[in-house]
Amino acid sequence: MKTWIPDARNFAYLTWKQVDALPREETLLILPTAAIEQHGHHLPLATDTLCNNLLLGKALELVPAELPIYALPPICYGKSNEHIGYPGTLSVSANTFMAVIRDLGASIAAGGFKKVTLFNSHGGNTSLVDVMARDLRAEFGLRTFSLFGAPGVNFDAVSAQERTYGFHAGEIETSFLLYGTPELVHTDKYTSNYIARVDKPELLKPEGSAANFAWLTRDIAPSGVMGDPAASSAENGEKWVNAAAAKIAEVLVAMYNFVPRHDA
| Residues in contact with 254: Cβ distance below 8 Å, sequence separation at least 6, in sequence order | none
What's the pLDDT tens digit per position in 98-120?
A: 999 999 999 999 999 999 999 99
The answer to whether the beta carbons of residues 179 and 241 sit under 8 Å apart is yes
Helical segments of the chain, H only: 16-20, 47-60, 94-110, 126-140, 160-165, 171-180, 217-220, 234-257
The answer to whether the beta carbons of residues 190 and 229 sit under 8 Å apart is yes
**Percent of the chain scoring above 90 in pLDDT:** 93
Look up residue 259 and give its amino acid. Answer: V
Domains defined along the chain, listed by start: 7-257 (3.40.50.10310)
pLDDT averaged over 10-residue windows placed end to end, the chain, 264 residues: 97 98 97 98 98 98 98 98 97 98 98 98 97 98 97 91 95 98 98 94 90 93 97 97 98 95 63
Look up residue 12 and give its amino acid. Answer: A
Look up residue 70 and give its amino acid. Answer: Y
Look up residue 65 and give its amino acid. Answer: A
The answer to whether the beta carbons of residues 253 and 67 sit under 8 Å apart is yes
What's the pLDDT tens digit per position in 216-238?
A: 999 989 999 999 999 999 999 99
Nearest residue to 190 (alpha-carbon basis) of 39, 85, 36, 87 = 39
CA Rg value for the chain: 19
Give the pLDDT confidence score for residue 264 in this predicted structure: 45
Give the pLDDT confidence score for residue 143 in this predicted structure: 97
Query: pTM here?
Result: 0.96
Give the pLDDT confidence score for residue 263 in this predicted structure: 55
Torsions phi, psi of 32, nearest 5? -75, 140
